[in-house]
Chain A
Amino acid sequence: MSSDGSSEYKVEQASTSDSRFQYFAPTSLTEFTELLEKNYDHAKICAGGTDLLVQITQCALQPKYVVSTSHLEGFDKIELNEDALNIGSLTTVRAIEKSRIINQTFPVLSEAAHEIGAIQIRNVATLGGNICQNLKCAEYNQSHIGQFMRESIKPCLKAGGTACIAPFDSLRHVVVEKGICRAPFVSDLGLALHCLDSSLTILSRRGERIVPIRQFYFGPSEFDLKEDEFVKQATVSINGSRSSSGFAKYKQTANGYAIVAVAASILFETDNSTCRKASISIGGVAPSPYEAVEAESLLEGKKIDGELIAQASRAILESVKHRGVARSFKISLARSLAKAALEKAVVHGVDVN
Protein backbone atom coordinates (compact mmCIF):
# COMPACT_ATOMS: atom_id res chain seq x y z
CA MET A 1 0.00 0.00 0.00
CA SER A 2 1.23 3.47 -0.81
CA SER A 3 0.84 6.48 1.46
CA ASP A 4 -2.55 7.50 0.09
CA GLY A 5 -3.90 4.03 0.69
CA SER A 6 -4.13 2.94 -2.95
CA SER A 7 -2.60 -0.35 -3.93
CA GLU A 8 0.54 -0.40 -6.02
CA TYR A 9 1.30 -2.77 -8.85
CA LYS A 10 4.32 -3.27 -10.99
CA VAL A 11 3.63 -4.91 -14.30
CA GLU A 12 7.00 -5.81 -15.65
CA GLN A 13 6.66 -7.76 -18.83
CA ALA A 14 7.28 -5.47 -21.78
CA SER A 15 5.68 -6.61 -24.99
CA THR A 16 8.02 -8.56 -27.15
CA SER A 17 7.33 -7.36 -30.68
CA ASP A 18 9.49 -4.61 -32.18
CA SER A 19 8.26 -1.06 -32.11
CA ARG A 20 7.37 0.49 -35.45
CA PHE A 21 8.97 3.77 -34.38
CA GLN A 22 11.06 5.33 -31.66
CA TYR A 23 9.22 7.85 -29.48
CA PHE A 24 10.79 11.00 -28.11
CA ALA A 25 9.20 13.53 -25.77
CA PRO A 26 11.76 16.37 -25.58
CA THR A 27 11.35 18.79 -22.70
CA SER A 28 12.81 21.88 -24.34
CA LEU A 29 12.16 23.61 -27.64
CA THR A 30 15.88 23.44 -28.49
CA GLU A 31 15.95 19.70 -28.00
CA PHE A 32 12.72 19.39 -29.97
CA THR A 33 13.92 21.32 -33.02
CA GLU A 34 17.33 19.61 -32.88
CA LEU A 35 15.70 16.20 -33.02
CA LEU A 36 13.64 17.26 -36.02
CA GLU A 37 16.66 18.66 -37.82
CA LYS A 38 18.91 15.73 -37.08
CA ASN A 39 16.34 13.20 -38.26
CA TYR A 40 15.12 15.16 -41.28
CA ASP A 41 12.83 13.02 -43.45
CA HIS A 42 12.59 10.30 -40.79
CA ALA A 43 10.90 12.12 -37.93
CA LYS A 44 7.30 13.26 -37.55
CA ILE A 45 5.84 15.63 -34.99
CA CYS A 46 3.14 14.07 -32.81
CA ALA A 47 0.90 16.74 -31.29
CA GLY A 48 -2.49 15.19 -30.55
CA GLY A 49 -1.53 12.16 -32.62
CA THR A 50 -5.12 11.69 -33.81
CA ASP A 51 -4.07 12.03 -37.42
CA LEU A 52 -0.49 10.78 -37.22
CA LEU A 53 -1.38 7.46 -35.59
CA VAL A 54 -4.13 6.82 -38.13
CA GLN A 55 -1.65 7.55 -40.94
CA ILE A 56 0.79 5.09 -39.40
CA THR A 57 -1.92 2.42 -39.04
CA GLN A 58 -2.87 2.97 -42.68
CA CYS A 59 0.81 2.78 -43.72
CA ALA A 60 0.52 6.19 -45.38
CA LEU A 61 3.33 7.48 -43.15
CA GLN A 62 6.10 5.34 -41.74
CA PRO A 63 8.31 7.60 -39.63
CA LYS A 64 11.29 6.08 -37.83
CA TYR A 65 11.00 8.67 -35.10
CA VAL A 66 7.95 10.22 -33.53
CA VAL A 67 8.66 13.45 -31.69
CA SER A 68 5.97 14.36 -29.19
CA THR A 69 5.05 17.91 -28.25
CA SER A 70 3.55 16.78 -24.94
CA HIS A 71 6.30 18.32 -22.78
CA LEU A 72 6.59 21.62 -24.67
CA GLU A 73 5.10 24.50 -22.75
CA GLY A 74 3.53 27.79 -23.70
CA PHE A 75 2.17 26.92 -27.13
CA ASP A 76 -1.42 26.47 -26.08
CA LYS A 77 -2.45 30.04 -25.45
CA ILE A 78 -5.29 32.03 -26.97
CA GLU A 79 -4.45 35.72 -26.81
CA LEU A 80 -6.33 38.74 -28.06
CA ASN A 81 -4.62 42.10 -28.31
CA GLU A 82 -5.51 45.30 -30.12
CA ASP A 83 -4.49 44.21 -33.57
CA ALA A 84 -4.63 40.45 -33.57
CA LEU A 85 -5.85 37.16 -32.22
CA ASN A 86 -3.02 34.69 -31.62
CA ILE A 87 -3.68 30.99 -31.14
CA GLY A 88 -0.82 28.71 -30.11
CA SER A 89 -0.46 25.64 -32.30
CA LEU A 90 -0.84 23.22 -29.40
CA THR A 91 -4.21 24.65 -28.38
CA THR A 92 -6.68 21.78 -28.51
CA VAL A 93 -9.55 21.84 -30.96
CA ARG A 94 -11.86 21.55 -27.95
CA ALA A 95 -10.36 24.70 -26.40
CA ILE A 96 -10.91 26.60 -29.65
CA GLU A 97 -14.48 25.35 -29.78
CA LYS A 98 -15.12 26.49 -26.20
CA SER A 99 -13.14 29.74 -26.17
CA ARG A 100 -15.31 32.78 -25.52
CA ILE A 101 -12.64 35.07 -26.91
CA ILE A 102 -12.63 33.23 -30.23
CA ASN A 103 -16.37 32.85 -30.33
CA GLN A 104 -16.79 36.58 -29.81
CA THR A 105 -14.23 37.67 -32.36
CA PHE A 106 -14.08 35.05 -35.11
CA PRO A 107 -16.97 32.60 -34.62
CA VAL A 108 -16.02 30.81 -37.86
CA LEU A 109 -13.11 29.29 -35.92
CA SER A 110 -15.13 27.95 -33.01
CA GLU A 111 -17.83 26.69 -35.35
CA ALA A 112 -15.26 24.90 -37.49
CA ALA A 113 -13.70 23.40 -34.35
CA HIS A 114 -17.09 22.17 -33.20
CA GLU A 115 -17.54 20.30 -36.48
CA ILE A 116 -14.31 18.31 -36.16
CA GLY A 117 -14.47 14.59 -35.41
CA ALA A 118 -15.94 13.57 -32.06
CA ILE A 119 -15.29 14.98 -28.59
CA GLN A 120 -12.74 12.21 -27.99
CA ILE A 121 -10.80 13.56 -31.00
CA ARG A 122 -11.29 17.25 -30.16
CA ASN A 123 -10.08 16.73 -26.57
CA VAL A 124 -6.61 15.80 -27.83
CA ALA A 125 -6.42 17.12 -31.41
CA THR A 126 -4.52 20.39 -31.81
CA LEU A 127 -4.72 23.40 -34.11
CA GLY A 128 -1.26 22.70 -35.58
CA GLY A 129 -2.10 19.06 -36.26
CA ASN A 130 -5.38 20.00 -37.85
CA ILE A 131 -3.88 22.39 -40.36
CA CYS A 132 -0.92 20.11 -41.12
CA GLN A 133 -2.91 16.86 -41.36
CA ASN A 134 -2.34 14.50 -44.23
CA LEU A 135 -4.78 14.64 -47.12
CA LYS A 136 -7.60 12.10 -47.02
CA CYS A 137 -8.57 9.60 -49.70
CA ALA A 138 -10.07 6.13 -49.54
CA GLU A 139 -7.50 4.85 -52.04
CA TYR A 140 -4.66 6.13 -49.87
CA ASN A 141 -5.32 6.35 -46.15
CA GLN A 142 -9.03 6.19 -45.41
CA SER A 143 -10.19 2.70 -46.19
CA HIS A 144 -11.00 0.03 -43.69
CA ILE A 145 -8.98 -2.65 -45.37
CA GLY A 146 -5.95 -3.96 -43.57
CA GLN A 147 -2.40 -3.62 -44.72
CA PHE A 148 -2.50 -7.14 -46.06
CA MET A 149 -5.39 -6.33 -48.37
CA ARG A 150 -3.91 -2.99 -49.30
CA GLU A 151 -0.73 -4.70 -50.43
CA SER A 152 -2.79 -6.79 -52.83
CA ILE A 153 -4.09 -3.76 -54.73
CA LYS A 154 -2.24 -1.31 -56.92
CA PRO A 155 -0.73 1.53 -54.85
CA CYS A 156 -2.09 5.00 -55.51
CA LEU A 157 0.09 7.87 -56.64
CA LYS A 158 0.66 9.09 -53.09
CA ALA A 159 1.65 5.64 -51.93
CA GLY A 160 4.33 5.31 -54.58
CA GLY A 161 2.23 4.20 -57.55
CA THR A 162 2.26 5.72 -61.01
CA ALA A 163 -1.22 7.21 -61.21
CA CYS A 164 -4.11 8.45 -59.09
CA ILE A 165 -6.62 5.61 -58.87
CA ALA A 166 -9.42 7.62 -57.28
CA PRO A 167 -12.72 7.67 -59.19
CA PHE A 168 -13.48 10.74 -61.30
CA ASP A 169 -16.99 11.31 -60.01
CA SER A 170 -17.17 10.71 -56.28
CA LEU A 171 -18.53 12.38 -53.17
CA ARG A 172 -15.22 12.07 -51.40
CA HIS A 173 -13.02 13.51 -54.10
CA VAL A 174 -12.39 16.83 -55.78
CA VAL A 175 -14.63 18.70 -58.18
CA VAL A 176 -11.93 21.08 -59.31
CA GLU A 177 -8.94 19.19 -60.68
CA LYS A 178 -5.54 20.67 -59.99
CA GLY A 179 -2.56 18.46 -60.40
CA ILE A 180 -2.94 14.72 -60.62
CA CYS A 181 -4.18 13.61 -57.22
CA ARG A 182 -7.92 13.78 -56.54
CA ALA A 183 -7.80 13.84 -52.74
CA PRO A 184 -9.61 16.90 -51.38
CA PHE A 185 -8.59 19.42 -48.74
CA VAL A 186 -10.45 18.59 -45.51
CA SER A 187 -8.94 20.57 -42.66
CA ASP A 188 -11.83 22.50 -41.11
CA LEU A 189 -9.65 24.87 -39.10
CA GLY A 190 -7.36 25.35 -42.09
CA LEU A 191 -10.41 26.46 -44.03
CA ALA A 192 -11.54 28.88 -41.32
CA LEU A 193 -8.05 30.37 -41.05
CA HIS A 194 -7.93 30.63 -44.84
CA CYS A 195 -11.09 32.70 -45.07
CA LEU A 196 -9.79 34.95 -42.28
CA ASP A 197 -6.59 35.57 -44.23
CA SER A 198 -4.52 34.61 -41.21
CA SER A 199 -0.83 33.92 -41.05
CA LEU A 200 1.28 31.21 -39.46
CA THR A 201 4.49 31.57 -37.48
CA ILE A 202 6.77 28.68 -38.29
CA LEU A 203 9.97 27.89 -36.45
CA SER A 204 12.95 25.62 -36.84
CA ARG A 205 16.65 25.62 -35.97
CA ARG A 206 17.07 28.16 -38.77
CA GLY A 207 14.82 30.68 -36.99
CA GLU A 208 11.28 31.91 -37.36
CA ARG A 209 9.32 32.90 -40.42
CA ILE A 210 5.80 34.17 -40.96
CA VAL A 211 3.75 32.73 -43.82
CA PRO A 212 0.30 33.92 -44.92
CA ILE A 213 -1.95 30.87 -44.82
CA ARG A 214 -2.89 31.30 -48.47
CA GLN A 215 0.76 30.87 -49.29
CA PHE A 216 1.11 28.00 -46.81
CA TYR A 217 -1.46 26.01 -48.77
CA PHE A 218 0.34 26.93 -51.98
CA GLY A 219 -0.21 23.95 -54.16
CA PRO A 220 -2.37 20.93 -54.73
CA SER A 221 -2.05 18.84 -51.58
CA GLU A 222 1.15 20.61 -50.62
CA PHE A 223 2.12 22.85 -47.71
CA ASP A 224 4.89 25.36 -47.36
CA LEU A 225 6.39 23.39 -44.47
CA LYS A 226 9.74 21.63 -44.27
CA GLU A 227 10.14 18.33 -42.46
CA ASP A 228 11.99 19.98 -39.56
CA GLU A 229 9.65 22.91 -39.13
CA PHE A 230 7.12 23.45 -36.36
CA VAL A 231 4.04 25.63 -36.73
CA LYS A 232 4.14 27.77 -33.61
CA GLN A 233 0.99 29.85 -33.84
CA ALA A 234 -1.74 31.21 -36.05
CA THR A 235 -2.46 34.94 -36.14
CA VAL A 236 -5.65 36.58 -37.33
CA SER A 237 -5.43 40.32 -37.63
CA ILE A 238 -8.25 42.56 -36.54
CA ASN A 239 -9.08 45.15 -39.15
CA GLY A 240 -10.86 47.60 -36.92
CA SER A 241 -14.07 47.72 -38.89
CA ARG A 242 -17.03 45.43 -38.42
CA SER A 243 -16.28 41.89 -39.46
CA SER A 244 -18.31 38.77 -39.18
CA SER A 245 -17.84 35.14 -40.06
CA GLY A 246 -19.54 31.74 -40.13
CA PHE A 247 -18.99 28.08 -40.97
CA ALA A 248 -21.20 25.39 -42.53
CA LYS A 249 -20.36 21.76 -43.22
CA TYR A 250 -21.98 18.70 -44.73
CA LYS A 251 -20.72 15.33 -43.54
CA GLN A 252 -22.15 11.86 -43.86
CA THR A 253 -21.31 10.54 -40.43
CA ALA A 254 -21.42 12.35 -37.11
CA ASN A 255 -17.65 12.25 -36.70
CA GLY A 256 -16.71 12.38 -40.35
CA TYR A 257 -14.73 14.60 -42.66
CA ALA A 258 -16.47 17.22 -44.74
CA ILE A 259 -17.95 16.17 -48.04
CA VAL A 260 -18.11 19.93 -48.50
CA ALA A 261 -17.45 22.68 -45.95
CA VAL A 262 -17.58 26.45 -46.33
CA ALA A 263 -15.97 29.14 -44.21
CA ALA A 264 -17.10 32.68 -44.94
CA SER A 265 -16.24 36.10 -43.61
CA ILE A 266 -17.50 39.54 -44.49
CA LEU A 267 -15.81 42.84 -43.75
CA PHE A 268 -18.25 45.74 -43.70
CA GLU A 269 -17.77 49.41 -44.51
CA THR A 270 -18.39 51.88 -41.68
CA ASP A 271 -22.08 52.00 -42.64
CA ASN A 272 -22.28 48.42 -41.30
CA SER A 273 -24.15 47.11 -44.31
CA THR A 274 -21.97 47.55 -47.40
CA CYS A 275 -19.53 44.73 -48.01
CA ARG A 276 -15.96 45.93 -48.36
CA LYS A 277 -14.45 42.49 -48.64
CA ALA A 278 -15.97 39.02 -48.73
CA SER A 279 -14.07 35.83 -48.30
CA ILE A 280 -15.49 32.40 -49.09
CA SER A 281 -13.24 29.37 -48.67
CA ILE A 282 -14.54 25.96 -49.65
CA GLY A 283 -13.18 22.61 -48.50
CA GLY A 284 -13.78 19.16 -49.96
CA VAL A 285 -13.91 20.35 -53.56
CA ALA A 286 -10.26 20.93 -54.47
CA PRO A 287 -6.84 19.72 -53.30
CA SER A 288 -6.38 23.01 -51.43
CA PRO A 289 -8.88 25.50 -50.01
CA TYR A 290 -11.00 26.72 -52.94
CA GLU A 291 -11.53 30.46 -52.95
CA ALA A 292 -14.92 31.28 -54.47
CA VAL A 293 -13.87 34.55 -56.16
CA GLU A 294 -16.89 34.24 -58.47
CA ALA A 295 -19.18 34.79 -55.48
CA GLU A 296 -16.90 37.14 -53.55
CA SER A 297 -16.83 39.65 -56.39
CA LEU A 298 -20.63 39.69 -56.56
CA LEU A 299 -20.82 40.67 -52.88
CA GLU A 300 -18.07 43.27 -52.71
CA GLY A 301 -19.12 46.91 -52.85
CA LYS A 302 -22.81 46.08 -52.41
CA LYS A 303 -25.26 46.25 -49.54
CA ILE A 304 -25.63 42.74 -48.14
CA ASP A 305 -29.09 41.22 -48.01
CA GLY A 306 -30.62 37.77 -48.31
CA GLU A 307 -31.25 38.09 -52.04
CA LEU A 308 -27.67 39.15 -52.80
CA ILE A 309 -26.30 36.25 -50.73
CA ALA A 310 -28.51 33.80 -52.61
CA GLN A 311 -27.47 35.24 -55.95
CA ALA A 312 -23.77 35.15 -55.12
CA SER A 313 -24.00 31.57 -53.83
CA ARG A 314 -25.58 30.42 -57.09
CA ALA A 315 -22.48 31.53 -58.97
CA ILE A 316 -20.20 29.19 -57.06
CA LEU A 317 -18.28 26.65 -59.18
CA GLU A 318 -20.27 27.62 -62.25
CA SER A 319 -17.24 27.21 -64.45
CA VAL A 320 -16.78 23.50 -63.68
CA LYS A 321 -17.48 21.77 -66.98
CA HIS A 322 -17.20 18.06 -66.38
CA ARG A 323 -19.76 16.89 -63.88
CA GLY A 324 -21.15 13.54 -62.98
CA VAL A 325 -23.91 12.93 -60.48
CA ALA A 326 -21.63 13.15 -57.45
CA ARG A 327 -19.82 16.25 -58.65
CA SER A 328 -23.09 18.00 -59.40
CA PHE A 329 -24.34 17.14 -55.94
CA LYS A 330 -21.15 18.51 -54.38
CA ILE A 331 -21.52 21.73 -56.34
CA SER A 332 -25.07 22.25 -55.12
CA LEU A 333 -23.90 21.46 -51.60
CA ALA A 334 -21.17 24.08 -51.92
CA ARG A 335 -23.76 26.64 -52.97
CA SER A 336 -26.25 25.96 -50.20
CA LEU A 337 -23.49 25.74 -47.58
CA ALA A 338 -22.00 29.01 -48.78
CA LYS A 339 -25.39 30.62 -48.44
CA ALA A 340 -25.74 29.19 -44.91
CA ALA A 341 -22.22 30.29 -43.91
CA LEU A 342 -22.75 33.82 -45.24
CA GLU A 343 -26.10 34.09 -43.48
CA LYS A 344 -24.50 32.92 -40.24
CA ALA A 345 -21.76 35.48 -40.76
CA VAL A 346 -24.30 38.29 -41.04
CA VAL A 347 -26.14 37.12 -37.92
CA HIS A 348 -22.92 36.71 -35.94
CA GLY A 349 -21.86 40.14 -37.13
CA VAL A 350 -24.59 41.65 -35.03
CA ASP A 351 -23.41 39.75 -31.93
CA VAL A 352 -19.70 40.22 -32.49
CA ASN A 353 -19.67 43.96 -33.00
Chain B
Amino acid sequence: MSAGGPVSPVHVTGEVLASKRIGAFWHLTLVAPGVGERFRPGTFLAVSVGSPDEGRTRLARRALWIHQVRPLGGYAATVQVVVEPVGPGTRWLAGLERGDRVEVTGPLGRPFALPKEPVSTVLVGEGYAAAPLFSLAERLRERDCPVTLVLGAPDEARLLNALEARRTARAVTVVTRDGSVGARGEIADVLDEVLRRAGADVVYAAGPTPVLHAVALAAEAHGAWSQTALEQPLTCATGLCHGCPVPVVGEDGVARTARACADGPVLRGDRVRWDDLAGARS
Protein backbone atom coordinates (compact mmCIF):
# COMPACT_ATOMS: atom_id res chain seq x y z
CA MET B 1 0.00 0.00 0.00
CA SER B 2 1.24 3.46 -0.76
CA ALA B 3 0.58 5.30 2.48
CA GLY B 4 -1.27 8.58 2.10
CA GLY B 5 0.82 11.49 3.24
CA PRO B 6 -0.98 14.68 4.21
CA VAL B 7 -1.99 16.85 1.28
CA SER B 8 -1.21 20.54 1.19
CA PRO B 9 -4.41 22.54 1.69
CA VAL B 10 -5.48 26.01 0.60
CA HIS B 11 -7.93 28.45 2.16
CA VAL B 12 -10.10 30.29 -0.35
CA THR B 13 -13.37 32.12 -0.70
CA GLY B 14 -15.36 29.73 -2.83
CA GLU B 15 -18.55 30.18 -4.76
CA VAL B 16 -21.58 27.96 -5.16
CA LEU B 17 -21.96 26.96 -8.80
CA ALA B 18 -24.94 24.68 -8.33
CA SER B 19 -27.10 23.25 -5.60
CA LYS B 20 -29.44 20.36 -6.12
CA ARG B 21 -31.56 18.36 -3.76
CA ILE B 22 -31.49 14.58 -4.22
CA GLY B 23 -33.41 12.63 -1.60
CA ALA B 24 -32.45 13.89 1.84
CA PHE B 25 -29.16 15.38 0.62
CA TRP B 26 -28.09 18.63 -1.02
CA HIS B 27 -25.41 18.18 -3.66
CA LEU B 28 -23.39 21.39 -3.81
CA THR B 29 -20.93 22.15 -6.56
CA LEU B 30 -18.31 24.65 -5.45
CA VAL B 31 -15.73 26.71 -7.28
CA ALA B 32 -12.84 26.66 -4.81
CA PRO B 33 -9.60 27.21 -6.73
CA GLY B 34 -6.81 24.89 -5.64
CA VAL B 35 -8.95 22.49 -3.62
CA GLY B 36 -10.04 20.18 -6.43
CA GLU B 37 -6.61 20.22 -8.03
CA ARG B 38 -5.04 18.77 -4.87
CA PHE B 39 -7.82 16.31 -4.06
CA ARG B 40 -7.19 12.66 -3.30
CA PRO B 41 -9.99 10.27 -2.26
CA GLY B 42 -10.54 10.33 1.48
CA THR B 43 -9.57 13.95 1.95
CA PHE B 44 -12.19 16.46 3.05
CA LEU B 45 -12.80 20.17 3.14
CA ALA B 46 -13.91 22.51 5.92
CA VAL B 47 -16.34 25.36 5.46
CA SER B 48 -17.15 28.34 7.66
CA VAL B 49 -20.78 28.88 8.53
CA GLY B 50 -22.03 32.31 7.50
CA SER B 51 -21.24 34.59 4.60
CA PRO B 52 -17.64 35.85 4.51
CA ASP B 53 -18.88 39.44 5.07
CA GLU B 54 -21.00 38.68 8.09
CA GLY B 55 -18.21 38.29 10.60
CA ARG B 56 -17.62 35.55 13.07
CA THR B 57 -20.47 34.21 15.12
CA ARG B 58 -19.97 30.48 14.54
CA LEU B 59 -16.27 29.83 14.89
CA ALA B 60 -16.10 26.03 14.45
CA ARG B 61 -15.63 24.73 10.93
CA ARG B 62 -17.93 22.15 9.33
CA ALA B 63 -16.23 19.18 7.68
CA LEU B 64 -17.51 17.68 4.41
CA TRP B 65 -16.19 14.80 2.34
CA ILE B 66 -15.08 15.76 -1.13
CA HIS B 67 -17.38 13.69 -3.29
CA GLN B 68 -16.27 14.45 -6.80
CA VAL B 69 -13.94 16.77 -8.66
CA ARG B 70 -14.75 17.60 -12.25
CA PRO B 71 -14.52 20.34 -14.87
CA LEU B 72 -17.75 22.32 -15.09
CA GLY B 73 -18.89 25.70 -16.37
CA GLY B 74 -15.44 26.66 -17.59
CA TYR B 75 -13.75 25.75 -14.29
CA ALA B 76 -11.08 23.06 -14.39
CA ALA B 77 -11.77 21.39 -11.05
CA THR B 78 -15.07 22.12 -9.36
CA VAL B 79 -15.67 20.32 -6.10
CA GLN B 80 -18.84 18.46 -5.26
CA VAL B 81 -19.97 17.87 -1.68
CA VAL B 82 -23.02 16.11 -0.29
CA VAL B 83 -24.72 17.77 2.66
CA GLU B 84 -27.23 16.24 5.03
CA PRO B 85 -28.84 19.07 6.98
CA VAL B 86 -28.75 18.04 10.64
CA GLY B 87 -27.93 21.25 12.53
CA PRO B 88 -27.43 24.99 12.07
CA GLY B 89 -24.29 24.73 9.96
CA THR B 90 -25.41 22.04 7.56
CA ARG B 91 -28.84 23.71 7.27
CA TRP B 92 -27.11 26.97 6.32
CA LEU B 93 -25.15 25.09 3.66
CA ALA B 94 -28.31 23.48 2.31
CA GLY B 95 -29.84 26.94 1.95
CA LEU B 96 -27.04 28.30 -0.24
CA GLU B 97 -27.80 29.26 -3.81
CA ARG B 98 -25.83 29.67 -6.98
CA GLY B 99 -23.44 32.62 -6.61
CA ASP B 100 -23.32 32.56 -2.79
CA ARG B 101 -19.85 32.70 -1.31
CA VAL B 102 -18.39 30.37 1.27
CA GLU B 103 -15.01 30.13 2.99
CA VAL B 104 -13.42 26.79 2.13
CA THR B 105 -10.25 25.11 3.39
CA GLY B 106 -9.05 21.95 1.74
CA PRO B 107 -8.26 19.36 0.83
CA LEU B 108 -7.59 18.33 4.43
CA GLY B 109 -6.26 15.18 6.06
CA ARG B 110 -4.66 11.98 4.88
CA PRO B 111 -6.32 10.14 2.00
CA PHE B 112 -7.04 6.45 1.56
CA ALA B 113 -3.86 4.48 0.92
CA LEU B 114 -3.93 2.76 -2.47
CA PRO B 115 -2.64 -0.76 -3.09
CA LYS B 116 0.34 -1.21 -5.41
CA GLU B 117 -0.90 -4.62 -6.60
CA PRO B 118 -4.24 -5.41 -8.28
CA VAL B 119 -5.82 -6.78 -5.10
CA SER B 120 -9.49 -7.34 -4.36
CA THR B 121 -11.14 -4.41 -2.59
CA VAL B 122 -14.42 -3.86 -0.76
CA LEU B 123 -15.68 -0.29 -0.23
CA VAL B 124 -18.20 0.30 2.55
CA GLY B 125 -20.13 3.53 3.09
CA GLU B 126 -23.17 4.63 5.03
CA GLY B 127 -25.34 7.63 4.13
CA TYR B 128 -23.57 10.76 2.87
CA ALA B 129 -20.31 9.25 4.06
CA ALA B 130 -20.26 7.04 0.97
CA ALA B 131 -19.32 10.25 -0.86
CA PRO B 132 -15.54 9.66 -1.02
CA LEU B 133 -15.93 6.05 -2.19
CA PHE B 134 -16.88 6.75 -5.80
CA SER B 135 -13.70 8.57 -6.73
CA LEU B 136 -11.80 5.96 -4.72
CA ALA B 137 -13.41 3.23 -6.81
CA GLU B 138 -12.25 4.97 -10.00
CA ARG B 139 -8.65 5.10 -8.79
CA LEU B 140 -8.78 1.45 -7.75
CA ARG B 141 -10.12 0.39 -11.13
CA GLU B 142 -7.30 2.29 -12.82
CA ARG B 143 -5.02 -0.01 -10.84
CA ASP B 144 -6.95 -3.09 -11.96
CA CYS B 145 -8.28 -3.74 -8.48
CA PRO B 146 -11.67 -5.47 -8.47
CA VAL B 147 -14.11 -3.28 -6.52
CA THR B 148 -17.12 -4.45 -4.52
CA LEU B 149 -19.35 -1.75 -3.00
CA VAL B 150 -21.49 -1.96 0.11
CA LEU B 151 -23.84 0.99 0.53
CA GLY B 152 -25.97 1.44 3.60
CA ALA B 153 -28.46 4.02 4.81
CA PRO B 154 -31.36 4.42 7.20
CA ASP B 155 -33.72 4.67 4.19
CA GLU B 156 -33.77 5.19 0.44
CA ALA B 157 -33.70 9.00 0.73
CA ARG B 158 -30.32 8.78 2.43
CA LEU B 159 -28.78 6.23 0.13
CA LEU B 160 -26.12 7.91 -1.96
CA ASN B 161 -25.91 7.33 -5.72
CA ALA B 162 -26.98 3.70 -5.82
CA LEU B 163 -27.39 3.92 -9.60
CA GLU B 164 -23.95 5.29 -10.20
CA ALA B 165 -22.60 2.60 -7.90
CA ARG B 166 -23.58 -0.09 -10.35
CA ARG B 167 -21.43 1.55 -13.01
CA THR B 168 -18.47 1.89 -10.68
CA ALA B 169 -18.26 -1.49 -9.05
CA ARG B 170 -18.27 -5.13 -10.03
CA ALA B 171 -20.78 -6.02 -7.32
CA VAL B 172 -22.99 -3.79 -5.20
CA THR B 173 -24.77 -4.67 -1.98
CA VAL B 174 -27.38 -2.24 -0.69
CA VAL B 175 -28.69 -2.34 2.87
CA THR B 176 -31.30 -0.04 4.42
CA ARG B 177 -32.49 -0.07 7.99
CA ASP B 178 -36.15 0.18 6.95
CA GLY B 179 -35.77 -2.13 3.96
CA SER B 180 -37.03 0.56 1.55
CA VAL B 181 -34.35 -0.53 -0.91
CA GLY B 182 -31.95 -3.49 -0.90
CA ALA B 183 -31.73 -5.81 2.07
CA ARG B 184 -33.27 -4.75 5.37
CA GLY B 185 -30.76 -4.38 8.15
CA GLU B 186 -27.36 -2.97 9.03
CA ILE B 187 -24.10 -2.93 7.12
CA ALA B 188 -22.55 -5.01 9.88
CA ASP B 189 -24.97 -7.86 9.09
CA VAL B 190 -23.66 -8.36 5.55
CA LEU B 191 -19.94 -7.71 5.98
CA ASP B 192 -18.76 -11.28 6.57
CA GLU B 193 -20.61 -12.61 3.55
CA VAL B 194 -19.41 -9.80 1.25
CA LEU B 195 -15.79 -10.02 2.34
CA ARG B 196 -15.81 -13.78 1.90
CA ARG B 197 -17.38 -13.67 -1.55
CA ALA B 198 -15.07 -10.90 -2.74
CA GLY B 199 -12.00 -12.55 -1.27
CA ALA B 200 -11.21 -9.09 0.06
CA ASP B 201 -7.60 -8.04 0.55
CA VAL B 202 -8.37 -4.44 1.50
CA VAL B 203 -11.56 -2.97 2.95
CA TYR B 204 -12.18 0.79 2.76
CA ALA B 205 -14.91 2.31 4.91
CA ALA B 206 -16.52 5.67 5.64
CA GLY B 207 -19.47 6.20 7.95
CA PRO B 208 -20.49 6.42 11.57
CA THR B 209 -18.02 5.04 14.08
CA PRO B 210 -19.91 1.78 14.82
CA VAL B 211 -19.83 0.91 11.10
CA LEU B 212 -16.10 1.57 10.95
CA HIS B 213 -15.51 -0.54 14.03
CA ALA B 214 -17.51 -3.41 12.50
CA VAL B 215 -15.47 -3.11 9.29
CA ALA B 216 -12.19 -3.16 11.18
CA LEU B 217 -13.24 -6.32 13.05
CA ALA B 218 -14.56 -8.08 9.95
CA ALA B 219 -11.45 -7.22 7.95
CA GLU B 220 -9.23 -8.57 10.68
CA ALA B 221 -11.25 -11.79 10.84
CA HIS B 222 -10.74 -12.21 7.07
CA GLY B 223 -7.05 -11.36 7.15
CA ALA B 224 -7.65 -8.17 5.15
CA TRP B 225 -6.30 -4.68 5.68
CA SER B 226 -8.81 -1.98 6.58
CA GLN B 227 -8.71 1.74 5.87
CA THR B 228 -11.31 3.55 7.95
CA ALA B 229 -12.29 7.19 7.34
CA LEU B 230 -13.27 8.59 10.72
CA GLU B 231 -15.87 11.23 11.47
CA GLN B 232 -15.14 12.81 14.79
CA PRO B 233 -16.43 16.19 15.94
CA LEU B 234 -13.92 18.72 14.63
CA THR B 235 -13.44 22.36 15.54
CA CYS B 236 -10.62 23.74 13.40
CA ALA B 237 -10.31 20.70 11.10
CA THR B 238 -6.78 21.86 10.26
CA GLY B 239 -4.70 20.30 13.05
CA LEU B 240 -4.29 23.49 15.06
CA CYS B 241 -6.46 22.99 18.17
CA HIS B 242 -5.82 19.39 19.33
CA GLY B 243 -9.54 19.06 19.90
CA CYS B 244 -10.13 15.79 18.02
CA PRO B 245 -8.20 13.05 19.81
CA VAL B 246 -8.31 9.49 18.46
CA PRO B 247 -6.74 6.74 20.58
CA VAL B 248 -4.42 4.70 18.36
CA VAL B 249 -1.61 2.18 18.58
CA GLY B 250 1.60 3.22 16.81
CA GLU B 251 3.77 1.05 14.54
CA ASP B 252 5.85 0.36 17.65
CA GLY B 253 2.86 -0.99 19.59
CA VAL B 254 2.78 2.04 21.88
CA ALA B 255 -0.60 3.65 22.67
CA ARG B 256 -0.82 7.20 21.36
CA THR B 257 -3.32 9.92 20.62
CA ALA B 258 -3.77 10.97 16.99
CA ARG B 259 -5.70 13.97 15.67
CA ALA B 260 -8.70 12.87 13.63
CA CYS B 261 -8.37 15.82 11.23
CA ALA B 262 -4.63 15.98 10.64
CA ASP B 263 -3.38 12.42 11.26
CA GLY B 264 -6.68 11.07 9.87
CA PRO B 265 -9.40 11.12 8.78
CA VAL B 266 -8.27 7.84 7.20
CA LEU B 267 -6.54 5.55 9.66
CA ARG B 268 -5.71 1.86 9.51
CA GLY B 269 -8.58 0.06 11.21
CA ASP B 270 -6.22 -2.15 13.20
CA ARG B 271 -4.45 0.90 14.61
CA VAL B 272 -7.52 2.55 16.15
CA ARG B 273 -8.30 1.64 19.76
CA TRP B 274 -12.02 1.47 19.06
CA ASP B 275 -13.05 0.66 22.61
CA ASP B 276 -11.45 3.87 23.85
CA LEU B 277 -12.90 6.03 21.09
CA ALA B 278 -15.91 8.14 22.01
CA GLY B 279 -18.98 7.14 20.01
CA ALA B 280 -17.61 3.71 19.03
CA ARG B 281 -20.57 1.87 20.51
CA SER B 282 -23.95 2.31 18.91
A associates with B: no
**Could you tell me which A residues sit within 8 Å of B by CB distance?**
none
